[in-house]
Structures are given as C-alpha cells and as structure tokens.
Chain A
Amino acid sequence: MKCESAQEIIALAVYGELPDDQSPQLEQHLAECDACRRELEAVQALSKAMSLLPVEEPSANLIARSRLRLEEALDAVPHGSWLLRVWQRFWQGVGRLRAAPVAVSAVLVVGLTAGGYSGYLAGEHAHDAGHISPDLHPAQVDPSLGNIANVSSITQEPNTENVEVVYNRLQPETIHGTLDDPQIRQLLLIGAQSRVNSGVHGDSVGLLADECRAGHQCNGGPIRDALMVALRYDKDVTVRLKALEGLEPYVADDVHVRDAVLEALMKDPDPKVRTQAIGLLEPVEADSSVREVLHTVAARDDNAEIRTASRLVLDQSPQVQ
C-alpha cells in the first residue's frame, strides 16, 4: 500500500469504517511509514479533541415541553381516520402542485361529503395552525345515533339518492381498580393529558399526585413527567397546586423536579403556587441554584409575603452567601 492510499483511508480506520479486508494492509504500511503513523495520530487527536464537546441528553423539561407542543399541534389536525386521510392527501397534493386551487377543492370535498360529523368545521380548523380544536358538536346528527367516533366511508348508489355510510361508534367502558393497578395508572396518564374534559384532567392529576406522595413508583417516568407538565402548563391553579404536592417527595433527589419547582417559583402567576414552591424547596435550600433563585425572588417578587418567606428561608441556612 502506498502513502497516498493509506492517507485516504486513515480517517476511515479511526472511525471504524475501514473494510475488514483493507485492515492488514494498512497495519503493515503503518508499521513501516512514519509519516502515515503521524497522520493516524493526528486524526486520533482530532477525534479526541472534538469529543470534548459532549453530547448532552435533552433535559426532562425540554422533552416534556416538546412533547406537549407537538400534542397540541397534532390535536389541531382533523381526527378520525377518514378525515385524516383527506387531510394527508391534501398536504401531499400541496407538496406536489403548490397551487391554490388544490386548497379550495380539498375544503369543498370535505364540506360536501361531511355526512354526520361536522367535517366542514374540522376542515376549516385544520388551517388555523396552533388553534386547539374545540369540542366538535355534531349538531345535525340524529340523537338516536349516539357516541359516533368517525365516519369511515360513504358510498352512493349510482343514479339513485341512496347512500351507504360506514361509521365507527365509541364504546364507553368502565374499569374498577386500585391506584396500584397498572391499567388504572395508564388511564390516569391519558386522562391527565385530556384537553377537552377539565374535570377528568384535574381528577387525574390529583390522583397521580397522591400516588407520588404515597411514594408509589414515581421516580423518573411518565407520572413524574405528567405532573411537571401540569405544574408548568395547566391553566387551573388547583391542578398546579396538586401537581406540586405530588412532586414534593422528589425535590431532594431529583434535579429535574427541583428545576421545575424553581421555575414555578419564578414564573407562576399565582402567589399560592409560588408560596407552596418555597415550602418545597426548604429541604434543598443549601443548593446554590436554589439560593440564587430565592435571592431573586426575595428582591423582585410582586408579593410582599413571598419576598419575606424567601428571605426567611435564606436566613435559616448558615451558608455564607
């Protein structure tokens, strides 16, 4: 093997991409050639140097935020398999043609063949990016057809006014069980994500929070994430307070939970939440990032009681400031 060929494949070798059958030739050449050995060492040194910029794992907050934002965006997409396919076909059409007439005809198609499902409304809302779809009431449906999930096909008999509609019904089911039951937990997690029914949402978060306080199976994982997301994003202050309660046992051990509580202390609009957050942070008030936040809050919070409470916690610890 000549130097020219060796130089070309040294980088490959360092990155584990050298075909096995070239390896012995390269080894032999390197045994004899100083210049190429130096090249090898240089590439190895580069690799080492570049590794000094480590690949960080995304924080739990970043993951939770991203997932939530994605959920909201996906919720704005028309649901129901039939409508979804129309919507997807629309985008594929847009991708190919990029022509306004496609948009108009897609909405018309949806509108005309809506059947009993307020399809037109759904199509309209699909164009409002970021708009969370409201409860769609199928106002024109015969009340005897309860709990319709979606319409999957509509076929018209040719030359007649007869139409065959295939639709799917929601089958409500009930399950009884204790909070330890994994099925119950899974359903609670789904309930905690419910954006439509706020009573269910609130109850789910409350129950999950109680689970965490009782110390059952809350380390890492979806339940802790759901509580952190509820703490950050829920509009109902009672739910946020419940979520805080649930996270309390984990503030000491879990840095991500601690960060979430610190964020609540700094940014939550409701003073009750901020006050409770201070309480939660007392066991870790020696932590430097916690102290920093407490200092900021003691100086800048709008609420005098909260400023005092923060200062009290800071003064408790004998740490030099």
Chain B
Amino acid sequence: MPADSLRFFPPSSIRSPSTPASKIQSSPGMAIDPSARATENDLIREAQQGSRAAFDTLVRQYDQAVLRLALHLTGSEQDAEDIHQEAFLKAYRYLGNFRFECSFYTWIYRIVTNLCLDLLRRRKSRREDQAVMLDASGDEIDLLTNVSDQRASANPDRELNRKFLGERIREALDKLTPRERMVFELKHYQGLKLRTIGEMLNTTEETAKNTLFRATRKLRANLAELR
C-alpha cells in the first residue's frame, strides 16, 4: 500500500486569498502559554472589578475570531454583527459569574455558540412549519431532507446548473440540525478539538463525536445529489 493513502489528515480549509497566513489561528486559547494566561487572568479580574479598559482589551483578543465564526456560520454580515454585539454584552453582564473554572476563551465561545444555535433554530423554524420529529434514539429527523430530494430528482439538470458550488454546500449544511451544523462548523471550519467543542456546547466529547458522525453522514448523502 502506498504510504500516502494512509495519511488521514484533511487538506486545511481553503481560506479566501485576502487572508494573510499569519491570521490562521484556530484555537488561540489553546496556544496561550502560562505567562500569557496569567496576564489574561489579571485582565479578567480587573474587568470584574469594573475596569472598562481591561474589558475592552479582553474583547479585542477575541472579537475577530468571534466575527469570523459567526460570519461563516450565518453567511450574513448583519447576523454576525448582531451575534458579536449580543455575545460581548452578555459577557460584560455576566462577567462576575466567571470563576476561572475553564478558559475565558471557552467561556466566551459558550456564549457565542449558544447565540448561534438560537439563530440557526429560528431560521429553521422560519423556513419550515413542520415540527422536528425525534426518532427512536432521540435524534432529530430532518423532514425537509426528503422533500428536497424529490424536488431535485424532478429536474436534476436545472437544479445543478442553477447554483454555484458554494451555495450548494450551504444548502447541504442547512439540512443539518442546528447542533450538527454547529459541531461541524467548529470541527471542520474552525479546527477545534472535539473535547473543546464538547465543553463549549455543555456536553461530552463522546456526544460531540457522535454528532460529528451524523453530520458527516448526512452531508455525504446531501452532496451525493450533485453527481
């Protein structure tokens, strides 16, 4: 067997050309060395005691990453801006609750991912009036998947020619449940570890893993329509 067929790791996500390579930072929190973390903790304490300047500095560490995530997930600058606003306002409000039990990065992302999940759920319920059903194992069944399959096979050529690849990918992602979409986004596009993802979504690494499997299976099925 040729060696390269056994190499597992995926090509890194293609970033848009305007991005300088130095900006690719999937998990800034994870890479912080102990002395930098100590400084950040000082900043947090200062902010908890009322220093707006300290809070502003904390915001600056993370706000671009937050915008990047929200922008890619929602596909909308306006939605990304709203999520940015709500997330950091919430952080400011509830800063007193942060007790250093996890990294500040995880704490902020917990807030952000919850807001993103809320938005994804609102979008889904706006698009379909159908209730989301649960199957025997308690997973959400996406009823819309079946509906659009029928539409595609009715007029496959027109479907394929009409849309660009990027849009097709977004459509495939839209068919995932909000949690599946969130886990896939954090794993594939933002490059976070499943364990971190579990922490952020207030669940276990095992659950995150299973959610990832379901997401990849669904995506393969959805994208297979293309061929």
Contacts and interface: CB of A to CB of B under 8 A. Distances in A.
B63 A54 contact: no
Contact of B11 (A13, A48, A74): A48
B216 A43 contact: yes
Q: Of residues A42, A56, A87, which shows the largest number of chain B Cβ atoms within 10 Å of its Cβ?
A: A56
B68 A55 contact: yes
Contact of B96 (A48, A55, A59, A88): A88
B220 A92 contact: no
Interface string B198-214: 00000000000100110
Contact of B188 (A37, A47, A92): A47
B193 A17 contact: yes
Interface residues of B, number: 59
Given A46-B219, A50-B219, A89-B96, A55 B50 contact: no
B10 A95 contact: no
Interface string A49-78: 111111111110011011101100110010
A79 B11 contact: no
A48 B10 contact: yes
A285 B102 CA distance: 52
Q: Of residues A18, A58, A82, which shows the largest number of chain B Cβ atoms within 10 Å of its Cβ?
A: A58
A66 B219 contact: no
Contacts of A59: 77
B15 A54 contact: yes
B50 A70 contact: no
B96 A16 contact: no
A215 interface: no
Contacts of B126: none
A51 B10 contact: yes
Contact of B16 (A16, A54, A82, A88): A54
A12 to B, nearest CB: 7
Given A47-B10, A54-B16, A55-B68, A70 B5 contact: no
B146 interface: no
Given A57-B23, A255-B18, 6 more contacts: A55-B190, A70-B84, A82-B50, A88-B95, A91-B94, A92-B96
